[in-house]
Amino acid sequence: MSDAAANQPLKTADGIPLKASLARAESRARRKAFLLVLPLLAFILITFIAPIGQMLHQSFYNEGFTVREDVVSGKRTPIMVNLKQWFDENPQGSEPDEAAYAALAADLLHLQELRAAGSAGTRINYERSGSRSMFTKGARNAKKLEPPYKEAILDLDDEWSDPELWQVMRDASSGYTINFYLAALDRAKNADGEIVMVDPERQVYVKLFIRTLVLSLLITFLTFILGYPIAHLLATLPLRYSNLLMILVLLPFWTSLLVRTTSWMVLLQSQGVVNDALVASGLLGDENRLQMMYNQAGTVIAMTHILLPFMVLPLYSVMRPINPSYVRAARSLGATSFTAFRRVYFPQTIPGIGAGALLVFILSVGYYITPALVGGADGQLISNLIAFHMQKSLNWSLAAALAALLLGGILILYWLYDRLVGIDNLKLG
Partner 1 sequence: MAASQNEDAFVEFERVQKSYDGETLVVKDLNLTMPKGEFLTMLGPSGSGKTTCLMMLAGFETATHGDIRLNGRPINNIPPHKRGIGMVFQNYALFPHMTIEENLSFPLEVRNIGKSDREAKVKRALDMVEMGAFGKRRPAQLSGGQQQRIALARALVFEPELVLMDEPLGALDKQLREKMQFEITDLAHRLGITTVYVTHDQTEALTMSDRVAVFDDGRIQQLDAPDTLYEEPQNSFVAQFIGENNTLEGTVKEIRDGIALVQLDDGELIDCLPVNVSKPGERTRVSIRPERVEFNKERLQAGAHTLKAEVMEFIYMGDIFRTRLKVAGNDEFVVKTRNAPDQVRLKPGEQIEIGWLPQDCRALDA
Applying CB under 8 A, does 74 fall inside the site for partner 1?
A: no
Nearer to partner 1 (CB atom), residue 232 or residue 260: 232
Q: Which of 23, 98, 343, 412 binds partner 1 (CB under 8 A)?
A: 343
Minimum distance between the CB of residue 395 and partner 1, rounded to whole angstroms? 50
Residues of the chain by 3-state class (helix, strand, coil), percent to 5? 70, 5, 25
Q: Is 422 left (phi over 0), alpha (psi -120 to 50) or beta?
A: left
* Distance (Å, whole) CA 166 – CA 350: 56
* Distance (Å, whole) CA 299 – CA 375: 5
Nearer to partner 1 (CB atom), residue 241 or residue 326: 326
Q: Find the part of the chain contacting partner 1 (CB under 8 A) among 110-118, 129-137, 284-292, 338-346.
A: 338-346
Residue numbers 347-406 binding partner 1 by CB under 8 A: 347-348
Applying CB under 8 A, does 342 fall inside the site for partner 1?
A: no
Applying CB under 8 A, does 329 fall inside the site for partner 1?
A: yes
Q: Which of 256, 281, 325, 391 binds partner 1 (CB under 8 A)?
A: 325
Nearer to partner 1 (CB atom), residue 202 or residue 328: 328
CA angle 376, 129, 178 (to 5 degrees): 90
Q: Which of 15, 282, 334, 429 binds partner 1 (CB under 8 A)?
A: 334
Nearer to partner 1 (CB atom), residue 281 or residue 323: 323
Q: Which of 47, 176, 339, 418 binds partner 1 (CB under 8 A)?
A: 339
Nearer to partner 1 (CB atom), residue 81 or residue 335: 335
Minimum distance between the CB of residue 325 and partner 1, rounded to whole angstroms? 4
Minimum distance between the CB of residue 328 and partner 1, rounded to whole angstroms? 5
* Distance (Å, whole) CA 386 – CA 377: 15
Q: Please enumerate, as own/partner, the contacts of 44-47 that have beta carbons within 8 Å and a separation of 24 or more.
A: none
Applying CB under 8 A, does 241 fall inside the site for partner 1?
A: no
Minimum distance between the CB of residue 4 and partner 1, rounded to whole angstroms? 25
> Do residues 45 and 54 lie in contact, with contact meaning Cβ atoms separated by under 8 Å?
no
Pairing relation of β-strands 195-197 and 67-69? unpaired
Q: How many residues bind partner 1 (CB under 8 A)?
A: 19
* Distance (Å, whole) CA 55 – CA 280: 52
Minimum distance between the CB of residue 350 and partner 1, rounded to whole angstroms? 8
Applying CB under 8 A, does 328 fall inside the site for partner 1?
A: yes
* Alpha-carbon distances of 109 from 104, 118, 167, 190, 228, rounded to whole Å: 9, 13, 21, 28, 67
* Distance (Å, whole) CA 384 – CA 235: 37
Reported in sequence order, the residue ranges of 174-236 that DSSP labels E, i.e. its strands, are: 187-189, 195-197
Applying CB under 8 A, does 427 fall inside the site for partner 1?
A: no
Side-chain-side CA neighbours of 159 within 13 Å: the count stands at 12
Q: Which of 344, 353, 400, 426 binds partner 1 (CB under 8 A)?
A: 344
Q: Which of 323, 377, 419, 429 binds partner 1 (CB under 8 A)?
A: 323
Applying CB under 8 A, does 238 fall inside the site for partner 1?
A: no
Cβ burial of 53 (10 Å; 0-12, 13-18, 19+) is: exposed
Side-chain-side CA neighbours of 124 within 13 Å: the count stands at 25
Length of the chain: 429
Q: Which of 22, 195, 336, 394 binds partner 1 (CB under 8 A)?
A: 336
**Which residues of the shown chain bind partner 1 in the complex (CB under 8 A)?**
323, 325-326, 328-337, 339-340, 343-344, 347-348
